[in-house]
Amino acid sequence: VIALPTQEVDMIIAPIGVTMAREQVLDFTFAFFYDDSAVILKKPDPDESKWRTYIDIFRIEASTCALTLKSFVRESKAVCLSLLLLSTPGGQNLPYSGSGRIFISAWWLFCLVVAGTFGGNLIAVLTVSKDKPPFNTLAEMASQSDYTFGTLGNSMWTTLFETSPRPEFQAISRKMEGFYAADPTVYSYDPNVHLKRVKQGGYAYIADNGMFTNWLAYNCDLMILKEKFFPAKYAIGLPNNSAYTKLFSEQVVKVYESGLLQVWVKKWWPSRSFCAGSLVTEARTLNLKDVQSAFYLLGVGVIFAGTLLISEVTVPVMRSLIPASLLDIKVVPETIRKAISREDLSKKKNDSRLKSWM
């Protein structure tokens, strides 16, 4: 772009985007290509997050809301009681007031809906393969800290993020400046440098969607975010007030009207390869990694149960080892003296009953 105003070159025939800043120093022909901007990154390894399978079924706000509501209501003995609450006048586990029965029945219906939703989503997550990106929008990308991201240096995307009033664009610009201070390759002029970093993982690249479609034809481990932004148009660049701008524009229009552009696209544009599992959604066989969350939950329960068992066995033994003469010493805690006193009293009662029986 800089070489054209200085007359180092006569024209630019390349995928150069048309922007307001460039139109002040260049002339552009009729646009020959339109494309959206997008973000490409490597597919995350699904095995890295499978330990959170049971946690990630609901978003954090939904799980927090359900747990908060649960803390206000005591559990009943059976879920089927919810169907009888409106007709039963009360009982051991049922409130006697009509308002209480309505509230508890509504609570149990809520529990049934949540449990059914959780179970259905859990089945889908465990049995159906689906590529889930670490973030879905530019705003989420700007707020996360696991991935770095970059774009072509001194391009229309750097100008967009620097000058746009949108908060997420401003946040992306600030973060890329911080990334650039530590690693200048985030503003590399070579797309292959960005592609190499994307393949290594932990990096997202911002550019035009058409180039990414070309990359996906040869790389099944890459993915594009669904959110598209900044529709751009590409044209031939000429010096300002060039006499050839109209001539080249007329030829571009003829190419469009004749359908040659679509013919060239079909002939030369690489077709996207069909990766394994990309044609249809299929159920798959579960392995231990898929259900490892259940084993983690079991392990936590075993640890807590074992700790409680040790305390239940150890505390009575420790109490029995304390001499009775120490009960009157003030250094012995009051709770231990009371516990030992109760045990001695129960022993005396049992001895008296045994003697009376004999």
pLDDT computed for residue 111 by the predictor? 75
Residue 159 tokens read as 């100008």
Question: Which pLDDT score is estimated for 309?
Answer: 84
Check: CB of residue 256 under 8 Å from CB of residue 165.
no
Structural domains in the chain plus CATH codes: 12-44+133-268 (3.40.190.10), 47-127 (no CATH), 292-357 (no CATH)
Instruction: Determine the pLDDT at residue 151.
Output: 95
CA 316 to chain centre: 49
First and final CA of the chain: distance in angstroms? 111
CB 55 within 8 A of CB 39: no
Q: How far apart are CA 269 and CA 217, in angstroms?
A: 10
Which residue type does 89 have? Answer: P
Splitting the chain (358 residues) into consecutive groups of 10 residues, what average pLDDT does each group show? Answer: 78 85 88 91 76 63 56 44 45 63 75 75 66 87 93 90 92 94 93 94 92 86 90 90 90 89 82 56 62 74 84 80 59 52 54 48
- C-alpha 358/C-alpha 354 separation (Å) is 6
What pLDDT score was predicted for residue 250? Answer: 92
| CA–CA gap between residue 192 and residue 214 (Å, rounded) | 13
Q: How many residues does the chain have?
A: 358
Predicted pLDDT of residue 92: 56
To the nearest 10 degrees (0 to 180), the angle between helices 260-268 and 245-258 is 70
pLDDT for the residue 2: 74
pLDDT at 191: 92
This prediction has a pTM of: 0.63
The three-class DSSP label of residue 152 is coil
Cβ atoms 34, 209 nearer than 8 A: no
